[in-house]
Amino acid sequence: MTTVLRRVAPQLLTLVAVIMLVSIYFPSFWQIVYVNERLVGIPIDVIKRGAPVALLAIGMTLVIATRGIDLSVGAVMAICGASAAWSIDQGFGLWAALGIALVAGLICGLWNGLLVAVFDIQPIVATLILMVAGRGIAQLITGGTILTFDNDAFSYLGSGTLLGVPVPAVIWVLTGIGFGLLVRRTALGLLVESIGVNLRASTLTGINSRVLLIAVYMGSGFCAALAGIIATADIRGADANNAGLWLELDAILAVVIGGNSLLGGRFSILASILGAMIIQTINTGILLAGFPSEFNLVIKAVLVIIILVLQSPRVLPQLAYLWRGRRDRSQRPKQSQTSQQNAGTETKT
């Protein structure tokens, strides 16, 4: 537990700092009220709106841990959202719609995984294919329109509440816990980290890296499917053009803010989720602050750069060293006097 805390401490501190920053503009940040059987307040907005990126970040963390990247998640969201809306539209009902959407996500992941693991295509290129083609596929499913539907059970997944908490938040929390347990209570996490650090050595150690890679991309597809379902249920319609647009970048950013290396290896799903919440707090904060829209991206970029620079393991020691180096040089004469103490052990024969 303490090791987990130590791992995510930078992200927690960052989140607190960002929240404090938002509170400056919006002092009643923590005001949460209970109306209409739902909790209402800014934190609630954050955990609800952050759901797609948080979900994507869960899958993306694993992919990145294998030294890969999944650029297709935004498009997969669109495909899965479209599949779900189409199923509802066809009258298949809630469960069939969910099943079809999740299977669609798994198939997309399988496709990516096969390209990466079996055909040895670089992940960035392999997933780019679906990133580009995916929206076209989604368009085909929706017939080029925003496919709207009327199904309260399905909409509940996007805008309902469970004990006052938005259902999307419940979904990502459960998914996060599920994936967390899956990788840490089994050996999956270790094996994934291993192939991320050194694929060749891992294969020689007997790890079934091919199957593992495919599974990881399928996991990412599954998370994207959940995110797509939420996005679709939220607006009661599948928008093939815009569902999940650019979210792959936010998901990657969340993983990076979570302190996970793009070079693979050690990963923390919890830290990535915190990264997603940091990003969402910034997004929500920008909306609340009421700056002109032109500043949105600039403010976000500046904050992200500050966060990444401060989290960089090099910056602080570097500054410390530079400072010390200067002092060393100026104090030179004093230091060389202590250089005798080891002379006794010298055995000059």
Residues 247-306 that bind another protein (CB under 8 A): 265-266, 284, 287-288, 290, 292-294, 296
**Number of shown-chain residues binding another protein (CB under 8 A):** 73
- What are all long-range contacts of 88-93, with beta carbons under 8 Å and residues at least 24 apart? 88/149, 88/151, 88/154, 89/147, 89/149
Q: Report the residue number, 49 or 70, with the smaller CB distance to another protein.
A: 49
Alpha-carbon dihedral angle through residues 235, 236, 238, 241, given to the nearest 10 degrees = -20
Interface with another protein, residue 193, by CB under 8 A? yes
Q: How far is the CB of 200 from another protein (least distance, A)?
A: 6
CA 306 to chain centre: 19
Site for another protein in 196-235 (CB under 8 A): 197-198, 200-208, 212, 231, 234-235
Burial-class residue 20 by CB neighbours within 10 Å (0-12, 13-18, 19+). Answer: exposed
Q: Which residues pair with 35 in a beta bridge?
A: 38
Interface with another protein, residue 23, by CB under 8 A? no
What does the DSSP assignment read for 199-256? HHHHHHTT--HHHHHHHHHHHHHHHHHHHHHHHHHHHTEE-TTTTTTTHHHHHHHHHH
Q: Report the residue number, 1 or 35, with the smaller CB distance to another protein.
A: 35
Per CB under 8 A, the list member of 8, 42, 64, 141 interacting with another protein is 42
Whole-angstrom Cα distance, residue 252 to residue 61? Answer: 8
Per CB under 8 A, the list member of 128, 159, 164, 180 interacting with another protein is 159
Q: Report the residue number, 145 or 312, with the smaller CB distance to another protein.
A: 145
Site for another protein in 161-190 (CB under 8 A): 185-188, 190
Per CB under 8 A, the list member of 8, 11, 22, 49 interacting with another protein is 49
Q: Report the residue number, 95 or 322, with the smaller CB distance to another protein.
A: 322
Q: How far is the CB of 46 from another protein (least distance, A)?
A: 10
Interface with another protein, residue 344, by CB under 8 A? no
Q: Report the residue number, 239 or 250, with the smaller CB distance to another protein.
A: 239
Beta-carbon contacts of residue 321 (< 8 Å; ≥ 6 apart): none
Q: How far is the CB of 275 from another protein (least distance, A)?
A: 19
Q: Report the residue number, 165 or 245, with the smaller CB distance to another protein.
A: 245
